[in-house]
Amino acid sequence: MFEGVFTALVTPFRDDKIDYSALEAIIEAQVKGGVDGVVPVGTTGESPTLSFEEHKEYVKRVVTLVNRRVKVIAGTGSNSTREAVHLSQAAQEYGVDGVLLVNPYYNRPPQRGLVAHFETVAKSITIPVVLYNIPSRTGINFLPESILELLDRAPNVVAIKEATGDLAQMMRVIELCGDRLTLLSGDDNLLLPVLAIGGRGVISVLSNVLPADMKKIVTLYNEGKLDESRKLFYKILPLCRAMFYETNPIPVKAAMEMMGRCTGDIRLPLVRLADEHRAKLRQALVDYGVRL
């Protein structure tokens, strides 16, 4: 159901308000670029600094703008199970194709707490659920054995965005869960290795900037054109690294501004990209061939 390239959408701001005109142009560029789906209000979409009202309105607008041309997976995770249920039920009402649930951050629940959290949210809705395992952001790692236990309890859990950076753990997830769970890379710079171990795509930051190129890497790989896929992957790899000169989404917002896609406005406590990183990012984009 969820395979290929899914763009973790930025949330464009202007004067500290969501810029829906910019969003419309961003959505059109993503559809034209051939991505398989978009993921609004995730980490890249600055979900921690959106109000509930902004969060829900943004999801609703994205669904309307996409108009079923690609899939929409809404970020609805929270460290409060009740909040995650509320946001997930609202997203289902708006017509999303699935929801993305990040590990509950800061609370640091034990594994049985993680299973109970995800089970409760998944059972509150009928649409598919994508897990999001990112210990560097959340302080907790959802382990493969626990993921398997969750699948037995909540059959609408269908995929996982894996951002541990640990290929051995990802292989264990695939080994245990098999075809019951689609594994997607949560790191652009691991896309090719993840495909090689059995992953089925990526939820990407860089595809905000280069949707067609990210899609081409996956398409070439799936067509068995491994050398061509690898060549493009290594060409794009410096830009994958550039997206993390500072905390995501600071660099991708700066790149989008350089390309005229939206302002570089970002909400505190995140701040605009530092000047020395801005110069490096601009050069990386130019070196790749992006027109600024």
* Predicted pLDDT of residue 164: 97
110 φψ region: left (φ > 0), alpha (ψ -120 to 50), beta (else)? beta
Confidence of residue 241 (pLDDT cuts 50, 70, 90): very high
Quote the tokens at residue 79. 């460290």
Phi/psi at 160 (nearest 5 deg)? -140, 135
Chain mean pLDDT for the chain: 97
Write the pLDDT tens digit of every residue in 272-289: 999 999 999 999 999 999
Q: Please confirm, yes or no, whether 161 is among the known catalytic residues.
A: yes
Write the pLDDT tens digit of every residue in 147-171: 999 999 999 999 999 999 999 999 9
- For 250, half-sphere exposure in the C-beta direction (CA atoms, 13 angstrom radius) is 17
Q: Please confirm, yes or no, whether 56 is among the known catalytic residues.
A: no
Write the pLDDT tens digit of every residue in 109-141: 999 999 999 999 999 999 999 999 999 999 999
Does residue 219 sit in helix, strand or coil? helix
Of all residues in the chain, what percent carry a pLDDT higher than 70? 100
8 Å CB contact between 34 and 6:
no
Does residue 18 sit in helix, strand or coil? strand
Which residue among 56, 58, 60, 132 is the active-site one? 132
Write the pLDDT tens digit of every residue in 72-117: 999 999 999 999 999 999 999 999 999 999 999 999 999 999 999 9
* Residue 25 clears pLDDT 90, i.e. is over it: yes
Domains with residue ranges and CATH for the chain: 4-224 (3.20.20.70)
Cα-Cα end-to-end distance for the chain: 35
* Predicted pLDDT of residue 77: 97
Question: Is the CA virtual torsion 7, 10, 12, 17 positive or negative?
Answer: positive
In this structure, what is the dihedral angle of CA atoms 70, 10, 74, 234, given to the nearest 10 degrees? 60
Write the pLDDT tens digit of every residue in 63-83: 999 999 999 999 999 999 999
* Predicted pLDDT of residue 228: 98
* Predicted pLDDT of residue 281: 98
Which residue among 161, 215, 216, 253 is the active-site one? 161
* Residue 1 clears pLDDT 90, i.e. is over it: no
